[in-house]
Amino acid sequence: MSRHRHAEAYAAVVLSGAYEECGNAGRFRADPGDVLIHAPFDAHLDRIGPGGAQVLNLALPSLPLAGKGRIADPDAVARLAALSPARAAEELLRQWQPVAEPADDWPDRLARSLRRDPNIRLDDWAAAHNLAPETLSRGFARVFGISPSAYRLESRAARAYSAIAGSLRPLVEIALATGFADQAHMTRAVRRLTGLPPGRWRSSPFKTRAVARH
């Protein structure tokens, strides 16, 4: 599945099959019993194995989890979801065990670096890892479906969106704290990410609008 975006926070519960997901939270191998957590407006692509995969997407409005985890009985969560998504989410939280996902190679390490510090210089990172700048750009895009600079901008925009929707800090302060040159730059990035300008999220922090981008 090509790179796409979900407006709502949700958990992807793998019931059968296997696939690889590459997105805003990193790169993950997903097998039966694995659960991948997606924040609002996360984007990712999925490389699905030859046998396909069956996945339950379960809404998690409060998003108390992050990253990758495992549950012992995904079928129990699926059965509850048919009756009550809220009860299924409670069961998922009860079973949840976090899984550490180490970086496999340099694209994973670069993605992690960009999420932690969106202000790093790509040329400096490439030189430190004995990579040519063009190799860095092509290799990263081949794995994540997006250039390193675009991935960095999305990371900044996601941080800004979370701060805007979750606090009353001045927008100009959030812009500078999340690595933008000014408020106007942040406004453009947040609008591109979410479909709405920052002021709309500040006035209605729980309002979402479905978007899908490839």
CATH of the domain at 36: 2.60.120
Same domain, 52 and 138: no
List the domain range (segments joined by +) for residue 59. Answer: 4-98
Structure tokens at 189: 């990035």
pLDDT in single tens digits along all 214 residues of the chain: 899 988 889 999 999 999 999 998 889 999 999 999 998 899 999 999 888 999 999 998 776 778 899 999 999 999 999 999 999 999 999 999 999 776 679 999 999 999 888 788 999 999 999 999 999 999 999 999 999 999 999 989 988 998 998 888 899 999 998 889 899 999 999 999 999 999 888 765 444 443 333 3
Q: How many angstroms separate the CA atoms of 31 and 16, rounded?
A: 7
Query: What local confidence, expressed as pLDDT, does residue 206 receive?
Result: 46
Structure tokens at 24: 């805003």
- The tally of domains found in the chain comes to 2
119 within a domain of the structure (yes/no): yes
Q: How many angstroms separate the CA atoms of 73 and 71, rounded?
A: 6
209 within a domain of the structure (yes/no): no
Same domain, 59 and 30: yes
Contact of 196 with 202, CB cutoff 8 Å: no
Give, for 55, the enclosing helix (H) or strand (E): strand 43-59
Query: What local confidence, expressed as pLDDT, does residue 49 receive?
Result: 85
Structure tokens at 34: 């694995």
Q: How many angstroms separate the CA atoms of 110 and 85, rounded?
A: 36
214 within a domain of the structure (yes/no): no
Please tell me the total number of residues recorded for the chain in this structure.
214
Give me the residues paired with residue 11 across strands: 37, 58
35 within a domain of the structure (yes/no): yes
Among 45, 76, 98, identify where a domain stops.
Answer: 98
